[in-house]
Structure 1
Amino acid sequence: MTEPSRLELLYFARRVIMQQAEASLAQVDRWIAVEEEREASQRRAAALRPKPAEWLIERSIGVGSPPTQVHRGGCPLARGVRVKAISEDQARRALYEHVSACSFCNPDTALQVIPE
């Protein structure tokens, strides 16, 4: 059996490299497709997520209990089952009716309500 020439070996090396490059390119294309689907899924989920409330009212413990504080939406102190989303007008009215404003998020300042 004769040994292959240098030129034949170089052509063989070229074919091997092309096959590896095609396989690598196909793998990268699969990774790209997976990442595009992940980002599209995140965009769809964000579009379906409800818009956070701009104003919140917190009530004291007990059914039918009076409101205790008004918060801005996203206030970290306004968490739990005793907090309910309200409109801007309802928040303003509650502040005028002497419901306390949260000292952390200052809804009275944001609504430009000056307590009496």
Structure 2
Amino acid sequence: MSDTGSSRLVLLRFLERVQERDLSRTRRWIADEERRQTERRVGEARRPLAPAWLIERGPDRNNIVALHTGQCWDPGKRTKPVTMAQAIGALRQQVPACTKCRPDPALGIVN
């Protein structure tokens, strides 16, 4: 059985349609990824700055458990941001400094 030019042309046209569909799909994937990256950059730019100092409270919310830096890896669940003046005041009132992030030397207070 011999291959005619028209059947070969039909196969080539089919291949072209398949490749155009694949290229179209790939371009959609690229556009989606570019959109996600743009959204990620915008989200990072809009993210509020991490607080410099954190006060950790106990379960009853009246008891202060520790003072942390804003970059502490183990601040506990009940923290709230405080100013540098509040952090220094807390250390002067004998609030324990976190033993992991050591905020007291960062504040210039050495025990």
- Structure 1 and Structure 2 fold alike (TM over 0.5): yes
In the alignment, structure 2 segments of 5+ residues that lack a partner are none
Partners of 1:75 and 1:104 in 2: CA distance: 7
Give the deviation of 1:4 after TM superposition. 8.0
1:111 and 2:107 matched: yes
1:102 and 2:98 matched: yes
**Aligned runs of 1:37-116 on 2, under 5 Å?**
37-62=35-60, 65=62, 67-81=64-78, 83-115=79-111
Residue 102 of structure 2 aligns with an amino acid whose one-letter code is N
TM value normalised by structure 1: 0.74
Residue 18 of structure 1 aligns with an amino acid whose one-letter code is E
Residue 19 of structure 1 aligns with an amino acid whose one-letter code is R
Paired residues, what number? 111
In the alignment, structure 1 segments of 5+ residues that lack a partner are none
TM value normalised by structure 2: 0.77
Percent of residue pairs bearing the same amino acid type: 32
Runs of 4+ residues deviating >4 angstroms: none
